[in-house]
Amino acid sequence: MGYSRAAAQLMLPLRSASRSLVSRSTHGAMSRPLLAVVNDSSISRGLLPHAHAVRHSSHSPMGATPTNPRKKVTLQTLRNLHKKGEPITMLTAHDFPSGHIAEAAGMEMILVGDSLAMVALGMEDTSEVVMEEMLLHCRSVARAAKSAFTIADLPMGSYEVSPEQGLQSAIRIIKEGRMQGIKLEGGEEMAPTIKRITQAGIPVVGHIGLTPQRQNALGGFRVQGKSTAGALKLLKDAMAVQEAGAFMMVLEAVPAEIAAIITKKLRVPTIGIGAGNGCSGQVLVQIDMTGNFPPGRFLPKFVKKYADVWGEAFRGIQQYREDVKSRAYPSEEYTYPIPQEELAEFKKIVDKPDQ
């Protein structure tokens, strides 16, 4: 009861101030924040955390406002990069941490790819992931990507039936997923769907060459455009996708020479993944290029491993386990102190024999 009375007394000045503030606001005179009318600084110190206060919770937000935020990347930004011949950087992300680090590293574009089916959800291939799962991951990445231009894959089964189905799915990605554009796989046959989506004001990135959602029809993950007929089909698809309104195109698993020629023939930028250095930009799956996978995992030929995230994380977790087993962790520096007189009083009470 003593605590309740003390709490009530502590809140009285705030309640009074709040009533005063509401009264002033009804007369259009609210010009100062609530703390301006609370004169007791001890109250404000006790109730409001300081920016530099030590955080005692085991859970803390990852997000932080960058000290030097960069300008927002827009469609015009990407067009300007393409016009100047400066390569466009794109990387996949599947959750807040991966989006956060891609954003911090300065990626111009972040793709929430359906590859998250494998790298985030443990599925066998991209065809398993459904729209609801994509939307959840999109929202997570969107919270982290404050400057990068974000796009997301339309998952298999969400756009192939008709242009109207494709538009409805694209709207969900933008509205519910908080993305800025969508990517869909397919060439000439997808032109009507691309046109319908772009007519609704939604930016579209095309995807030709190896289209993983159609791997069964392609006979697996095979390089596309290795024959004259195959290369001509790719060029025809690229032209159709461009004319349908796509502002950009991904070329996957295409011989470098063919990709370079297609890039020169197009007005819109191309993003290569296994398509050589002649594209307008590049994209990789973040898990692959950061090495966040166990030893022995197969990597496509085009993937360059830039880091060893798995190795570093494994060594850290292994050391943590050993420290816990040996009681080396937590040592005194990782514990919270208590005044010795308080500790002595506590021990005296708990050690007292029962009466």
Tokens of 126: 């991209």
The CA distance from 24 to 36, in Å, is 13
3-state secondary structure of 291: coil
Q: Catalytic: which of 103, 108, 185, 252?
A: 252
- 345 noted as active-site residue: no
The helix or strand, by DSSP H or E, that contains position 149, with its residue range, turns out to be: strand 149-153
Q: Which residue's entry shows tokens 């166990």? A: 294
For residue 250, what are the β-bridge partners? 207, 271
The CA distance from 158 to 130, in Å, is 8
The CA distance from 166 to 191, in Å, is 11
Residue 204 phi/psi, 5-degree rounding, is -125, 135
The helix or strand, by DSSP H or E, that contains position 111, with its residue range, turns out to be: strand 109-112
**What sign does the CA torsion over 313, 318, 321, 327 have?**
negative
- The residue type of 136 is L
Question: Could you tell me which residues come within 8 angstroms of residue 257 by beta carbon, excluding any fewer than 6 positions away?
Answer: 276, 278
The CA distance from 32 to 90, in Å, is 45
The CA distance from 258 to 235, in Å, is 9
CA atoms within 13 A on the CB side of 119: 24
Please list the active-site residues: 252
